[in-house]
Structure 1
Amino acid sequence: MSVYTQLTDDQFAAFCQRFGVSFARAIPITQGIKNSNWFIQTTDDVDGAHAYVFTLFEERPPEDIEKMAVILNQLDGKLPVAAPLALVELDADDNADTKKRYVIHYENKAITLVPCLAGAHPQETTPAMCHEIGAALAMLHETLQALQPAQDYGVPLYPWSEVRDREMQFMPGDEAKLMRDIWQAYSNLPLTDLPKGLCHLDMFADNTLWDLTKGQEKLTGLLDFTEVSVEHYVMDIAITINDFCTTWGDAEQGELVHFDRRKMAAFLEGYESKRALNRDEKRALPVMLAKAAVIFWLLRLNVIHYNRTEGRTGDNIMVKNPDLMKRLAAYHWAHVEKAQKTVFVLSNDKSDNQLIGIFSDITHAEQARATLSNRRDISIKEYTLDQLA
């Protein structure tokens, strides 16, 4: 949430007045990369506190933000979200307008004002926090199923294939191959069989707020619903896992990328406590993790391209390193490739290791063993293809 469009105090005061808020001061928010954001102090705030967040949406058209307001109202009361304030408008007879509106239009851009939520962005996550955000994401998916048809509320998915084609022209051969291989593996998934619905698609840790009392961390806020679109639920899961379960090293640490599979297991346990994943979703998840990292690799390259072509510069402009997502994509792809070369063999330990079945993943092997009456005698062994035992 950088600051691209500059507003005067008089403009802030006029806009806030339309929301019924008495403006005192606007404080720029520099985290994030898409919209212009400020904390708003009101004349009633004391000791430097701020009651609201003022957002000017730089790219999304106002009609998309109006859809977002409906989505937030649907979630309000079920999850910790900040629903936009309604505009205080008067009709010709000086009566309050009975039709609620939540968006101001300014130079073909949208403005909203939302209450500040308590809490802070986590600098690191724990397995317990991953479990809680998993449950929250599942609740989000379940709750938004009430908004039908879903396409009327979600915004169009960004044409990432166009960004891919532009950026691959300038990539080293190994990077281009990585992106191409992951994209092809994604295309080979049974996409038509994967459940879809309204998804957040940007549930990074810096889009959440927490009470960070050590050992008692609690989710207090879900932020940034500008990207809500109709997408496969497992893609939304992959995007969230990629950030919550990864430790991102800073420049002094060589910007290392460490993915924690223990945290991922906690996340999935939390998610499935609210919504069970089906077999196709579980099988698709490894490729989706790689594809999700590719999407955010491209997003960061696209921000750099957009800033350059638009001449956007300044201390309030933040650019995230695309190489971090490239490294995460490579990590996930290595696991996918290993899985493609691995089989799981069921054999009977009491019958001279009699071969019973060969399976492509451990889940299917365990499910098959569970159906056998003599399963206590059945072992599962992992073998790598094209390699001597």
Structure 2
Amino acid sequence: MSVYTPLSAEQLNDALHPYGLTLEQHRAASHGIENSTFLIDARDSGGRPRALVMTLFEQLSAEQLHPYLALLLALDSQQLPVPAPLTHDGRQPLITVAGKPAIVMPRLPGHHEFSVDAEQCQQIGGWLARLHACDCQSLPALPTERQRLAQLAGQLPALPEHERALATALLARWQAIPAGHTLIHGDLFRDNVLWQDGRISALLDFYNACLDCPEYDLAVTLNDWCVDPDSGQPMPERQQALLSGYRQQGGRHDPERLSLALAVAALRFWLSRLAGPVSSHSEGQGSKDPEEFARIFRQRIEALQQATGAD
């Protein structure tokens, strides 16, 4: 959550006014790469402290954000640990700050954990199954991951020449499979989860959510939680634990489709990282290393070829 649009204390205080809140202090958040995010301490009209997060959206318009915000409110009503946006003026979640759409959310308790073990992987698998079981049929339509993949195909020429044809064929094979109807997170990396007292306290950043095959969501998650980032090698104990947690909460998946999705998801994040950050001038993390997912892609595509007997 790097900051591409710096804000003054005065701007932040003005942004909090519609919610009846007053700024006390703030700082930039340090994780993520797409939006500008601030951690805020404020007080309400009764003087009670409020811990908040404000996100300015650098790429999405107010119209594009509408289905995601409706989703967050719906998931909150279904008892998932998500930061539903605060509303004002008759349940309006959006405000405009520095000419960009923004929301204010409660800052849920917890912290990030990047050195995870098998037990933690089992927990995230369980929450993924619960998310996949959520009812969102009555909500506004979300953009599809297939559309994002089609856009990211524009980055294929940036791949090494000997891998370009393989990656192109892999995307075409996945796009030929009909999209599923399961609600998926699409970006459930470790930096999108909070922990408190050894338990998951929050699932964050639903701005890649859509309806698709559950195997794709499992693949995205497995490629971050259950892989050695230095070698790209899968870590079997963690992977088995995550899938066990998924099954224990009622999740079901097709192993053959998961093998394909693991390679596709690795390619997706290799391509998106090659696309770079929103801006070359940012405070915080900025863009992530594309080579991490290049390594994972090579491992996953080799495993897929071995499973299918392809060259």
Q: State TM-score, norm by structure 2.
A: 0.89
- Closer/same/farther in 2, CA of residues 109 and 275 from structure 1, 3 Å limit: farther
Secondary structure at 2:24 match in 1 = strand
Alpha-carbon distance, 1:41 to partner? 1.5
Residue 121 (structure 1) aligns with: 112
Alpha-carbon distance, 1:184 to partner? 4.0
Residue 186 (structure 1) aligns with: 174
CA separation in 2, counterparts of 1:100 and 1:298?
A: 37
CA contact 1:61–1:108 (8 Å) conserved in 2: no
Residue 318 (structure 1) aligns with: 286
Amino acid at match of 1:67: P
CA contact 2:75–2:82 (8 Å) conserved in 1: yes
CA separation in 2, counterparts of 1:56 and 1:12?
A: 11
CA separation in 2, counterparts of 1:41 and 1:222?
A: 21
Map of 1:79-228 to 2, 5 A cutoff?
Answer: 79-87=80-88, 89=89, 99-106=90-97, 109-143=100-134, 145=135, 147-149=136-138, 152-157=140-145, 158-164=147-153, 166-187=154-175, 191-192=177-178, 195-211=180-196, 213=197, 217-228=198-209
CA contact 2:55–2:103 (8 Å) conserved in 1: yes
CA separation in 2, counterparts of 1:168 and 1:81?
A: 34
Amino acid at match of 2:30: T
- Closer/same/farther in 2, CA of residues 131 and 149 from structure 1, 3 Å limit: same
Map of 1:16-95 to 2, 5 A cutoff?
Answer: 16-43=16-43, 51-76=51-76, 78-87=79-88, 89=89
Question: RCO higher in 1 or 2 (8 Å CA, sep ≥ 6)?
Answer: 2
CA contact 2:132–2:251 (8 Å) conserved in 1: no
Amino acid at match of 2:103: T
CA-to-partner distance for each residue in 1:53-82, whole Å, 9 max, x for gaps? 111111111133332232222222522111
Secondary structure at 1:258 match in 2 = coil
Amino acid at match of 1:66: H
Secondary structure at 2:258 match in 1 = helix
CA contact 1:68–1:153 (8 Å) conserved in 2: no
CA separation in 2, counterparts of 1:62 and 1:219?
A: 30
CA-to-partner distance for each residue in 1:150-174, whole Å, 9 max, x for gaps? 5x2423444333432x333343222
Residue 290 (structure 1) aligns with: 263
Amino acid at match of 2:303: H
Q: State TM-score, norm by structure 1.
A: 0.72
Task: Kindly report the root-mean-square deviation, in angstroms, between the aligned alpha carbons of the 2 structures.
Answer: 2.4
CA contact 1:178–1:330 (8 Å) conserved in 2: no
CA separation in 1, counterparts of 2:9 and 2:98?
A: 17
CA contact 1:2–1:32 (8 Å) conserved in 2: yes
Residue 271 (structure 1) aligns with: 246
CA contact 1:134–1:269 (8 Å) conserved in 2: yes
Over the matched positions of the two proteins, sequence identity in percent amounts to 28
CA-to-partner distance for each residue in 1:95-115, whole Å, 9 max, x for gaps? xxxx21111134663211111
CA contact 2:29–2:39 (8 Å) conserved in 1: yes
Amino acid at match of 1:318: G
Residue 272 (structure 2) aligns with: 299
What is the number of residues matched between the two proteins? 305
Amino acid at match of 2:249: K
Amino acid at match of 1:313: H
CA contact 2:2–2:283 (8 Å) conserved in 1: no
Secondary structure at 1:140 match in 2 = helix
Determine whether 1:246 maps to 2:227.
yes
Structure of higher CA gyration radius: 1
- Closer/same/farther in 2, CA of residues 162 and 314 from structure 1, 3 Å limit: closer
4+ aligned runs moved over 4 Å, structure 1: none
CA-to-partner distance for each residue in 1:160-203, whole Å, 9 max, x for gaps? 33432x33334322231342243244246xx23x6423221010
Residue 372 (structure 1) aligns with: none
Alpha-carbon distance, 1:285 to partner? 0.4
CA separation in 1, counterparts of 2:91 and 2:50?
A: 25
CA-to-partner distance for each residue in 1:321-356, whole Å, 9 max, x for gaps? 0111111011011111111239xxxxxxxxxxxxxx
Secondary structure at 2:252 match in 1 = coil
CA separation in 2, counterparts of 1:275 and 1:319?
A: 36
Alpha-carbon distance, 1:315 to partner? 4.3
Secondary structure at 2:233 match in 1 = strand
Alpha-carbon distance, 1:52 to partner? 0.6
- Closer/same/farther in 2, CA of residues 245 and 119 from structure 1, 3 Å limit: same
- Closer/same/farther in 2, CA of residues 134 and 169 from structure 1, 3 Å limit: same
CA-to-partner distance for each residue in 1:87-136, whole Å, 9 max, x for gaps? 2x4xxxxxxxxx21111134663211111111111121111111111111
